[in-house]
Amino acid sequence: MDLALEILLPPFVACLVLMGIHVYLGLHVVSRGVIFVDLALAQIAGLGATFAFLLGYEPSGLAGYIYSLIFAFIAAAVFSGLRLSEQRIPKEAIIGISFAVASAATILIADRAPQGAEFVEAMLTGALLWAPWSLIGKTAIAYVLIGMFHWHYRKRFLALSLEPERAESEGWSIRWWDFLFYVSFGLVITYSVPMAGILLVFSFLIIPTVIAMLFARSIIGRLVVGWTVGTLVSMVGLTLSYAYDLPSGPAVVCTFGCALVLAGITRYLVGAEQKIVALVRVGAAGAAVAGGLWLAFTTAAISSSGDHMDLTEEVVSGQPLDLATVAAESLAAIESSTGTPPAEAINRLLSVKEDVHRMMATGELRVSEGAVQALARAPDSAEINELLEEIAYHADDPWARLRAGEALLERGNALGVEALINLLEADAPAFAQMQASEALQRATAQPIAFDPQGDDVTKDAAIAAWRAWWQAHRGEPLTSSGG
């Protein structure tokens, strides 16, 4: 219980910090009808961080932050000019286009950077579960200052969002005040995205506000409802993330989605004149959704089974062989090689690569340590790396997982870090865990020691430290060779 509290307390406090400012800003965003401005600003700020990453700067460093801020300010200047007296193109369309182009540009830039895909994934999902107290504190201070700015000019900002006609009739500089609003918004987003990720930031901004608007009319009432919903959803989402070993950001986002559905159903039932009819409709809709999910999973299982049956009839060298036999014989040929594994055996193994995970999980295929060591001598390629990843994460033999993780590190694949961290948590031989710890230290230059003979508290602390480091640096290239 103490360990769970130690792990979940920082991300929960981070959620409270994020929620405090985002629910308030969400009221403005929804009232202005620019729902996707948060996504667009977040993606554009992420584009700046990605550009800094390509240039060799650390995304979490000062340079990465400055690039994000510059890109966000440019977007703020553009978005503040969208409120024109005559506008043929809706501003939401322009914001949506900006998001799409920024997303595509981010992917193109990340494609040119080492571990670019991992960086993009981290930018979407964030590292909420491993947010350090120092980052949470700095973010809270920044949000307090921005909140004070909004409080001082609250009449202006609220009038622009809720009563734009009055602001125009009184001769305010609409574009100037819009620019200040979007600049402050961009500052919030630039702080939020590295910690929580684009998806969770958008959820904090929009979903509590939408739920609040279903049940409250005043600004104060909506803020209270939004903050209450955000607090409860954060607690539930993080608890589910910890209990089921799920990514924290996506878990909270999905919990927000479920909360919105429940809020919508509650509002419908409360406002319905014929309660029984409303209950029947809700029950029928729920049954339809449940039936659709059941049918989808059942069909997928049948289709998957049929695909495997078709593949097992594939003829190799004139003899019908099933996939497990193909994989096992290929691994045996690779393991018996003394130098570079034979290309034919490699190609046959890669032909069933997509099924290796399933075969290892069902016990149809066992991968030995020697086979992995021989496979590691194969020429570097994306397909070999994917195969090593599957073994490093899912093989039964801990020694095979160890050698696959080491091979990934030697090839500069940072996913070997997470695979070896998983091995530290697994029920593996102490010597294998010691070698995994040493490989992690060599590849990352981090002095985080793991003693497999130590007590549980010490081992849990070391694993937590490695998890925190991985979440903070998963998009960065390894500092040194794994070998």
Q: What is the pLDDT along the chain (483 residues), one digit of tens a residue?
A: 466 777 788 889 999 999 999 999 988 888 877 777 777 888 888 888 888 877 777 666 677 788 888 888 888 888 777 665 456 667 778 888 888 888 888 888 777 665 566 667 767 777 777 778 888 898 999 999 999 999 998 888 888 887 777 767 776 777 788 888 888 888 888 888 878 888 888 899 899 999 999 999 888 999 999 999 999 999 999 888 888 777 788 889 999 999 999 999 999 888 888 888 888 888 888 888 888 878 776 765 554 444 444 444 444 444 445 687 888 888 888 888 777 888 888 888 888 877 887 788 777 888 888 888 888 888 888 888 888 888 988 888 889 899 999 998 988 888 889 999 998 988 888 888 888 998 998 888 888 888 887 888 888 888 888 988 888 887 777 764 433
Torsion of CA 242, 246, 247, 252, to 10 degrees: -70
Summarize pLDDT for 119-152 with one digit per residue, the tens.
677 677 777 777 788 888 989 999 999 999 999 9
Handedness of CA 339, 340, 343, 345 (dihedral sign): positive
Torsion of CA 191, 194, 198, 202, to 10 degrees: -30
Torsion of CA 416, 417, 422, 426, to 10 degrees: 80
Any idea what DSSP says for residue 113? S
Phi, psi of 320 (to 5 degrees): -70, 125
Angle at 431 between CA 426 and CA 433, to 5 degrees: 35
Entry field: residues in the chain: 483
Taking 3-state DSSP, the helix, strand and coil percentages for the chain, each rounded to the nearest 5, stand at: 75, 0, 20
How does DSSP assign 207-246, residue by residue?
A: HHHHHHHHH--SHHHHHHHHHHHHHHHHHHHHHHHHHTT-
Distance CA 352, CA 365 (A): 12
Which SS3 state, helix, strand or coil, does residue 416 take? helix
> Which residue is listed with tokens 């809706």?
90
Q: Which helix (H) or strand (E) holds 315?
A: strand 315-316
Distance CA 7, CA 14 (A): 12
For residue 322, the Cα-to-chain-centroid distance in whole angstroms is 37
> Which residue is listed with tokens 């160890």?
402
Burial of 278 (0-12, 13-18, 19+ CB in 10 A): middle
Amino acid at 420: L
Distance CA 108, CA 284 (A): 45
User: Going by C-beta distance under 8 Å and a sequence separation of 6 or more, which residues neighbour residue 326?
Assistant: 314, 316, 348, 349, 351, 352
Distance CA 122, CA 413 (A): 16
pTM: 0.59
* pLDDT score of 59: 62
Amino acid at 233: V
Q: Are the C-beta atoms of 54 and 113 separated by less than 8 Å?
A: yes
Domains of the chain: 2-271 (1.10.3470.10), 315-473 (1.25.10)
How does DSSP assign 141-169, residue by residue?
A: HHHHHHHHHHHHTHHHHHHHHH-HHHHHH
* In 1-132, alpha helices (H): 2-32, 37-54, 62-80, 91-111, 116-125
- Tokens describing residue 222: 């909506």
Distance CA 469, CA 6 (A): 16
In a 13 Å sphere around the CA of 42, the CA atoms on its Cβ side amount to 27
Which SS3 state, helix, strand or coil, does residue 85 take? coil
For residue 83, the Cα-to-chain-centroid distance in whole angstroms is 33
Q: Are the C-beta atoms of 364 and 324 separated by less than 8 Å?
A: yes
